[in-house]
Amino acid sequence: MSRVRHFLRDDDLSPADQDLVLDAAARLAEAPHLASEALRSDAIGLLFEKPSLRTRVSSEVACARLGATPVHLRTDELQLSRGETAEDSVRVLVGYLSLLMARVREHGFLEDLARPDVLPIVNGLSDRFHPLQSLADLLTLRQELGTLAGRRMAFVGDGNNVASSLMLASAMAGLGLVVATPEAYRPPEDVVDRAIELAAASGAEVRLTTDPVDAVKEADAVYTDVWTSMGQEDEEARRRRDLWPYQVNSELIAQAPASAIVLHCLPAHRGDEITDDVLDSERSRVFGQAHNRLPATAALFLFLLEPSLAGRLEEVPWDGDLP
């Protein structure tokens, strides 16, 4: 078997690949059934170590829209606890599946699964990155802003896996990003360094600050996420105290340009990282952003399994009616 493509982190795609996936996602958002038979011979594994609403439903429906068969798996079904290695498991699964998407606790587990010559692995979320989410985010920004290059976004709050993915994806897209966190909550240094490297190539600015007002003052979009992720519940009180000055509320949004939109990857803890009046405001694009998880995921699956078709979706005629 030839070397396969994985999507464990955003920069597993090149900037050109990312643009192609976003173009395909935009087309599938317009015409959901445009590629309805593209993966009819494929089965796609959906492995969930952590619970999910958006990732589970969007990935399952993406399979259905592309004609693929979704196969749900739990990590205990891989029998790792009984001594089977991740390598052996994935070498078995390649006989059944065309691709495996996995939502896991530890990023290292994905790396163990991602053999260079076996089965494409897609990161549905890990403690390090959430690249399927950032594809949906960039799609939403393209729909709202027209272009990404030269635009600016602010991420305010915890420098978590979502922030890390946004740094890489934005840098590749030429989208400026300012991340505002307390010093102790900065994204990992290796991710920051890689984002700066990618930004130098695209002409974007990636910058860190501890001042949320500084972050939002020139932003076309203001983004936040939960302060306490799954697995961090014992830190909730400390995190809430430390991150309270980073709440996205009407006072902070008033410091942003009047045209700035608001994003959140959900689920939201209303009254903590974001207030009701902002989340439900005319500026909010949060639920459209959530809906974009579907075409973004479908486009990524298509790109990994049928890249030539993914690149030709713009040429496929569509008259506005479903087949």
Q: What CATH number is attached to the domain comprising 248?
A: 3.40.50.1370
- Does residue 321 carry a pLDDT above 80? no
Return the pLDDT at 74. Answer: 85
Residue of 9, 10, 17, 133 marked active site: 133
Is 4 within a domain? no
pLDDT of residue 323: 39
pLDDT, one tens digit per residue, over 9-62 is 999 999 999 999 999 999 999 999 999 999 999 999 999 998 899 999 999 999
180 and 245 in a single domain? The answer is: yes
**Quick one: tokens of 159?**
């420098």
DSSP 314: G
Q: Specify whether 137 is located in the same domain as 89.
A: no
Look at residue 2 and tell me if it is in a domain: no
Residues 227 and 148 in one domain: yes
CA dist 85 → 88, 90, 258 (Å): 5, 9, 53
Q: Is residue 301 part of a domain?
A: yes
pLDDT of residue 75: 80
- For residue 3, what pLDDT is reported? 77
Section 256-284 average pLDDT:
98
Please check whether residues 188 and 259 belong to one and the same domain. yes
Domain match, 88 and 209 both: no
Other CB atoms within a 10 A radius of the CB of residue 24 amount to 27
Q: Encoding tokens for residue 209?
A: 């600050």
Q: With beta carbons less than 8 A apart as the criterion, state whether 295 and 26 touch.
A: yes
95-100 mean pLDDT: 97
Residue 319 a catalytic site member: no
- Domains held by the chain: number: 2
Q: Which of 229, 231, 226, 235 is nearest to 266 (CA)?
A: 226
Q: Is residue 230 part of a domain?
A: yes
Based on the fold, state whether residues 209 and 298 are members of the same structural domain: no
pLDDT at 38: 96
Q: Catalytic: 137?
A: no
The pLDDT > 90 percentage for the chain reads: 87
Instruction: Answer whether residue 281 is part of any domain.
Output: yes
Q: For residue 174, which amino acid is it?
A: G
Tens of pLDDT, residues 185-237: 999 999 999 999 999 999 999 999 999 999 999 999 999 999 998 778 889 99
Task: Give whole-number Cα distances, 56 to 70, 247, 319, in Å.
Answer: 10, 28, 30
Which string of b and e fits 128-151 if b means at least 16 CB within 10 Å?
Answer: bbbbbbbbbbbbbbbebbeebeeb
Catalytic-role residue among 127, 265, 272, 285: 265
pLDDT score for 1: 46
Claim to verify: residue 270 and residue 145 sit in the same structural domain:
yes
Classify residue 322: in a domain, yes or no: no
pLDDT of residue 83: 72
Q: How high is the pLDDT of residue 81? A: 60
Examine the domain organization and report whether 282 and 200 are in the same domain: yes
130 assigned to active site = yes
Do 306 and 243 sit in the same domain of this protein? no
Q: Is position 157 within any domain?
A: yes
The answer to whether 265 is a known catalytic residue is yes
Q: How confident is the model at residue 318 (pLDDT cuts 50, 70, 90)?
A: low
Active-site choice (27, 225, 247, 283) = 225
Check whether residue 301 and residue 159 sit in a common domain: no
Burial of residue 321 (CB within 10 Å: 0-12, 13-18, 19+) is exposed
> Would you state the pLDDT for residue 230?
76
Its domain, for residue 183, covers: 133-289
| Same domain as 309, residue 169 | no
- Is residue 1 in a domain? no
Residue 288 has pLDDT above 60, yes or no: yes
63 part of the active site: no
The answer to whether residues 202 and 244 belong to one domain is: yes
> Kindly report the CA angle at 253 between 283 and 285, in degrees rounded to 5?
25
Which amino acid, 240?
R
Longest CA pairwise span in the chain (Å): 57
Told to judge if 103 belongs to the known catalytic residues of this protein, a careful annotator would answer: yes
Selection from 75-79, 83-87, 166-170 with the highest mean pLDDT? 166-170
Residue 76: is its pLDDT beyond 90?
Answer: no
Choose, from 130, 151, 283, 285, the residue flagged as catalytic.
130
